[in-house]
Amino acid sequence: MIDVGSFRSRDCYGISRRAFVRAGMTLPLAAGAGRPAEANVTAPAGPARSVVLLWLWGGPSHLDTFDPKPDAPQEVRGPFSSLATRTPGLRVSELFPRLAQRSHLYSIVRSNKNLTSTHRIAASIALTGQQGANGDADYGPAIGSIVQRVQSGRQDLPPFIAVTPGALKTALGIVRGTGGGRWGKAYDPVPVACSDTGQVSIPALKLLDGLPTNRLADRKLLLGQLDQIARLEGAAETWQESFRRAYRLLTSDEGRKAFDLSRESPRTRGEYGRSVFGQSCLLARRLVEAEVPFIQVNWSQWVENLFDSKTDFGWDTHWLNFEHMVDRHGPILDRALSTFLDDLNHRGLLENTLVVALGEFGRTPKISANAGRDHWPAVYSSLWAGGGVIPGQVIGQSDRQGGDAVTAPVTPDMVATTILQQSGIGTEQRAELRLFPDSHVIKELT
């Protein structure tokens, strides 16, 4: 069942004009006609038609996932043993048996580095590939926003979709580097929420409560109303585009189908696991099939692992790192990501879909007094698959205790540059957009 706001694909209700107007105002604003593609940047042709960024919000422990240290002292190694994989030299935590069996589908980078240990800032840097200005206030566009600006995708779907339980937050505030940034809200992603039961909703359209389908179909009438309202608001162009983007989703049968997980067999839905992340990965696969250029799947809305009624089990495991790894995070990630890679592979989609799984940093090698692990930006790991990436490799190396990179570090700008390059946004186009002039791709990956 897809829930577009409160609009369900099989039901319809009434809507007030006021609610309709407010709904439009909540959407990401898009400047210019149609979608926000840039006229002076050539549409790219890279190995990755779609990018799926699996955002492991909170910072997974690299030692307890993809860079175990079985020979380190107990206070570093932790309580988990490690498993051999199909890739020589690659062992992963024992919590990932399925991923261990599929290492021929992906490569692991073990020398990622970030610039700060503050979640919100580190996340913004990781998602944009660059530091902000004016403290934590002013960021460049997120990687997905850059792809959105250049890629067209299908006309009835937004080019940058964030499958997320909500806007990324910590107890201290919202993450700023998740959308258009200096380019404006026109390049923000369209957020879509997916529950553990596979219920999909588009929160930006929540206020379109009960719009009858006969009025939805009457595009001319709605656009006429919109023009009137927009003139009153004095922002006709941007407002109209925001409505168009919503309208496309609501009125395009094909567009809506992409969000409808009930079209999947129970077996397929189950294979991804009955978790928010699992069902979100399944939705991502459907969006890949629908040729959406950039899909970001957020593990959680909140960075915190445990947070009163807001608890949605982020990866920030200062406490209970090992308990949550074994209870939830390990099994859920192992199942969802393995199935996602298999599914893309079996459908012939992996070749032209770049999958990247990472968080904003790793976690302390030494286990804390609270029996958890704290923030660690000096070195951490990421997983790369498909989209022209050479699989079955371990790239980079951390030291014996996972404290620092002993090979050249992979910095956030390199992550961004590599994703853009695989999306067909090469050196020339990045130069036109004045992005990452001094950076380079992670050479071993491609």
Partner 1 sequence: MRSAIRPVAVVVAMQITVWAGVASADPPLQLTTDGRIKRDPVFVDGGRAIVFTLQSDSPRLVLAKLDLASRRMSRVFPDANLPELKCVFSTDQRTRAWLRITGNDRVSLLVHPAGAETAYVVKTAKTVSWSPALTPDGRHVVFNLAGQLMVHSIPPKVIRPLAKSSGRNDWPAISPDGRRIAFGSSRDGNFEIYVADLDGQNIRRLTQRPGLDMRPAWSPDGKRIAFTSVRDGNYEVYVMSADGQQSVNVSRHTERDDYASWHPDGRKLVWVREVEGRYDLFQSTVVDEIKD
Looking at this protein, which amino acid is placed at residue 29? L
Candidates 135, 234, 266, 437: give the one binding partner 1 (CB under 8 A): 266
For position 272 contacting partner 1 by CB under 8 A, the verdict is yes
Q: Which is nearer to partner 1, 271 or 413 (CB)?
A: 271
For position 257 contacting partner 1 by CB under 8 A, the verdict is no
Looking at this protein, which amino acid is placed at residue 412? P
Site string for partner 1, 154-173 (x = CB under 8 A): -----------------x--
Q: Which is nearer to partner 1, 40 or 309 (CB)?
A: 309
Contact (CB, 8 A) for 338 and 99: yes
For position 361 contacting partner 1 by CB under 8 A, the verdict is no
For position 78 contacting partner 1 by CB under 8 A, the verdict is yes
Residues linked to residue 174 through DSSP beta bridges, in sequence order: 169
Q: Which is nearer to partner 1, 11 or 327 (CB)?
A: 327
For position 391 contacting partner 1 by CB under 8 A, the verdict is no
Candidates 210, 331, 392, 426: give the one binding partner 1 (CB under 8 A): 331
The C-alpha atoms of residue 311 and residue 298 are separated, in whole angstroms, by 15
What DSSP assignment string belongs to 110-122?
EEE--S-S-HHHH
Q: Which is nearer to partner 1, 35 or 373 (CB)?
A: 373
For tokens 């099989």, what's the residue?
A: 10
For position 71 contacting partner 1 by CB under 8 A, the verdict is no
Binding range to partner 1, per CB under 8 A, among 94-102, 104-112, 379-387, 429-437: 94-102
Contacts with partner 1: how many residues (CB under 8 A)? 47
Residues linked to residue 173 through DSSP beta bridges, in sequence order: 170
For position 270 contacting partner 1 by CB under 8 A, the verdict is yes
* C-alpha dist (Å) from residue 118 to 124, 257, 361, 377, 424: 10, 39, 9, 9, 32
Query: What three-state secondary structure class fits 294?
Result: strand
Q: How far is the CB of 398 from partner 1 (least distance, A)?
A: 21
For position 67 contacting partner 1 by CB under 8 A, the verdict is no
Residues linked to residue 200 through DSSP beta bridges, in sequence order: 2, 194
Q: How far is the CB of 75 from partner 1 (least distance, A)?
A: 8
**Nearest to 386, CA basis, from 423, 434, 430, 332:** 423
Q: Which is nearer to partner 1, 186 or 297 (CB)?
A: 297
Q: Which is nearer to partner 1, 122 or 410 (CB)?
A: 122
Q: What is the 3-state secondary structure (H, E, C) of 393-407?
A: CEECCECCCCCCECC
Contact (CB, 8 A) for 432 and 422: no
The C-alpha atoms of residue 380 and residue 362 are separated, in whole angstroms, by 5
**Nearest to 215, CA basis, from 225, 201, 203:** 225
Q: Which residues bind partner 1 (CB under 8 A)?
A: 74-75, 78-81, 83, 94-95, 97, 171, 195-197, 266-267, 269-275, 278, 304-309, 311-313, 318-320, 322-323, 326-328, 331, 335, 367, 369-371
